[in-house]
Amino acid sequence: MTLKDQYDTIISQIPHVMKYGKNESRIPLLRRILDVLGSPDKQFKTIHVAGTNGKGSISTLTAALLQRSGYQVGLFTSPTLYDDREMIRLNGQLIMYDEFIKCYQTFTDALKQLSLIQQDISIFETWYLISTIYFADRRADYVVYETGLGGELDATNATRNVKTVIFAKFALDHLNILGSTLEDIVTTTAKIIKPGVQAICYAHQDPVAVKIIENRCLQVNAKLYLSSFDHVHLNQPFLDHSQIDLILNGEILPNVHFNLAGQYQIRNLQTVLTWVALFNRTATFKITRTTILSVLQTITFPGRMALIQAEPPVLIDGAHNLNGINGLVTSLLSLKDLGTITFVVGFLKDKQVTECVNRLLDVNATFIISSPDNPDRALAADQLAQIFHANPKSVAAKIILADSIANAAQQAKQLQGTNQGLVIGTGSFYFINKFKLAWDGETNE
């Protein structure tokens, strides 16, 4: 049996269920497991990133800046796009199969000491615990943990040696779990702020969210820093990157290449630069201007306005909620000479789909409708098509129903072969994963 076979066998045995619940905190249980493991979470400094949209980009930028500055850096993010091991990275590299297997054995040994079995621990909790074992074993200096869902009850909140909390943009999402209002969502997420940490808030955060975070900081004696939008200016947007003007330490740096596209990435970057300024006050190895420019020029984030084919262009974007769709559409409308646009779209049914469709229809495009690869949560393609047709804006759009993601990709290819226009796959990470595989001809669907 190969290492991959052993890994696949392990993954197949883990309950693919969510044990997260509004009225039951599993953090004490996870901390008991961590204690049996020797408290690996206390062996590195943690930067905890939470919010609704942008936390993956912020986490990736933060980890890259630390790594390029000479630190050993762990990164824990979700969801994944192509390989579940993307959740656990050290210095940008995925955890190897043999390392995962070794850490998993350590994890299951700890469960036995507590008279627990794998079925007691969810898939996300398992990945989180394995990450702490791995990062401690590899002697990471810093680990950037992105929350999976909310904050207070999220598995990553079991981590105890937190130095900084960074909040990405808050918006409505996971309403059936986190609460039906922005206040509910921010309140539960803000509880990851622990006594004495420094908290950094996204540039142009909703004032309601800022006030809740301020109150939490006062309650636990944490220091809050608000990001501004003053030091990063979008000079010119492009489909695959941005040209920006920066102000670093009072020096104006014009026409800097920022390798992430999308107007929303400008505010994510400003939030990260606020953290950099604070980090450099006390850091042994400071993050230099040269390092910042190098990271900005080379950073990648698969799944967010990511170009998977240059000519003719094909883009994937994991905009999975209304705020993400707003960001995508706003960014597209700011670009010139895009030509003919074809969207390939699939949504989960627990999202604000009607509102997302309404925003997508602000773009003059053809829409090929399919369904994500998630049987429990996927919105059926015919139901999504009905939502499109029910919107008055759809009169000006061409809407095509596809019976599979592979068929949707094939139809988009045929259209692009005729018009040489832009193709965009969006609506869910579950969807764009399969769309890219189908586009590359790597699916048997």
Nearest to 227 by CA among 276, 174, 191, 190: 276
End-to-end CA distance of the chain: 27
Question: Which structure tokens are listed for 145?
Answer: 């943990």
pLDDT tens digits along 197-256: 999 999 889 899 999 999 999 999 999 999 876 789 999 999 999 999 999 988 999 999
Strand partners, 242: 237, 258
CA distance 107 to 263: 41
Q: Determine the pLDDT at residue 340.
A: 94
Tell me the pLDDT tens digit for each residue of 278-291.
999 999 899 999 99
Query: Phi, psi (5° rounding) for residue 167?
Result: -100, 120
Please provide the size of the chain in residues: 445
Q: How confident is the model at residue 439 (pLDDT cuts 50, 70, 90)?
A: very high
Region of poorest pLDDT, from 106-110, 324-328, 441-445: 441-445
More confident residue, 393 or 302: 393
Helix (H, G, I), strand (E, B) or coil at 181: coil
- CB neighbours of residue 83 within 10 Å: 8
pLDDT, tens digit (0-9, with 9 covering 90-100), for 301-339: 988 899 999 999 999 999 988 989 999 999 999 998 889
Instruction: Give the whole-angstrom CA distance, residue 154 versus residue 21.
Output: 9
pLDDT band per the 50, 70, 90 thresholds, residue 386: very high
- In this model, does residue 24 exceed pLDDT 70? no
pTM: 0.93
The per-residue pLDDT for 350 is 80
State the average pLDDT over residues 104-116: 98
- Give me the mean pLDDT over the 286-297 stretch: 97
Mention every residue, 6+ apart, whose C-beta is less than 8 A from residue 342. 365, 366, 367, 368, 412, 415, 416, 421, 422, 423, 424
Is the predicted pLDDT of residue 21 greater than 70, yes or no?
no
Residues 6+ apart with CB under 8 A from 213: 167, 186, 190, 193, 199, 201, 205, 224
Nearest to 236 by CA among 254, 252, 250: 254
Residues 209 and 258: their CA atoms lie apart, in Å, by 28
CATH 3.10.20.90 fits 306-439, yes or no: no
Higher-pLDDT residue of 250 and 62 is 62
pLDDT tens-digit series, residues 156-196: 999 999 999 999 999 766 656 666 688 988 999 999 999 99
User: How high does pLDDT run on average in the chain?
Assistant: 92
Q: Looking at the predicted structure, is the pLDDT value of residue 342 above 80?
A: yes
Distance of alpha carbon 316 from alpha carbon 296, whole angstroms: 20
Considering only 58-67, 219-228, 436-445, which range has the smallest mean pLDDT?
436-445
For 5-17, b/e burial (b = at least 16 CB within 10 A) is eebeebbeebeee
Q: Which of 31-45, 311-325, 342-356 has the highest mean pLDDT?
A: 31-45
Average pLDDT value for residue range 266-276:
95
Identify the top-confidence range among 23-27, 344-348, 349-353, 417-421: 344-348
* Mean pLDDT confidence for 61-80: 97
**Residue written as token pair 């290449």:** 257
Question: Structural domain boundaries of the chain?
Answer: 3-298, 306-439
- Which pLDDT value is given to residue 349? 85
* % of the chain surpassing 90 pLDDT: 79
Burial call 190-205: b when 16+ CB within 10 Å, e when fewer: bbbbbeebbbbbbbeb
Q: pLDDT value at position 22?
A: 47
Q: What is the DSSP string of 337-373?
A: ---SEEEEE--BTTS-HHHHHHHHTTS--EEEE---S
Q: What's the rounded mean pLDDT across residues 8-16?
A: 91
Looking at domain 3-298, which of 3.40.47.10, 3.40.1190.10, 2.70.70.10, 3.40.50.720 is its CATH number? 3.40.1190.10
26: amino acid identity, one letter: R
Distance, in Å, from the CA atom of 199 to the CA atom of 241, rounded to the nearest integer, reads: 29
The phi and psi torsions of 168 (rounded to 5 degrees) equal: -80, -175
Q: What is the pLDDT of residue 250?
A: 85
Is the per-residue pLDDT at 260 higher than 70? yes
Residue 374 or residue 56, greater confidence: 56
**pLDDT of the residue at 20:** 58
- Mean pLDDT of the 112-126 span: 95
